[in-house]
Amino acid sequence: MILLEHLTHKATVTKKTPSDKDEYGTVSYITETVEVPCFFDMPTEEIKISGQGDRTFIAQGILFVQPTASIKVNDLVSKIVDRGGNIIKEDDYRVGEIDPATDDEGVHHLEVYLINNK
């Protein structure tokens, strides 16, 4: 497992969980915002992410997080800061894909690929 000392950044992650339906069948959502320890990096090469249908997105950033991190595809990432609270990125991203990175002991960390949320 990746050590917390290497995760020198924090990402603000907003999760939307479906809740009840109203009398018209419209689903309401519960919104939860959490701070996730991470390390943010920019891709060094073009990483394509398949979306719904035949849409393809290009990763705009990568978060390295612990395998136990509470983050899933389509979560929103709105701010990434360093340990001193300095803003590294304040763009609106959406989690496009999550890939587990493994070693001899199992999943070492997760690589979370961010796409523009526009």
What are 76-95's pLDDT values in tens digits? Answer: 998 999 999 999 998 899 99
d(CA 108, CA 44): 21
Q: Is 0.85 topped by the overall pTM?
A: no
- CATH architecture of the domain covering 4-116: Beta Barrel (2.40)
Higher pLDDT, 56 or 98: 98
What are the phi and psi torsion angles at 22 (to 5°)?
A: -85, -175
Tally of CB atoms within 10 A around 13: 25
User: What's residue 53's pLDDT?
Assistant: 67
Q: pLDDT, tens digit, for every residue of 42-59?
A: 887 778 777 666 777 888
Considering just the CA atoms, what is the radius of gyration of the chain in Å?
Answer: 15
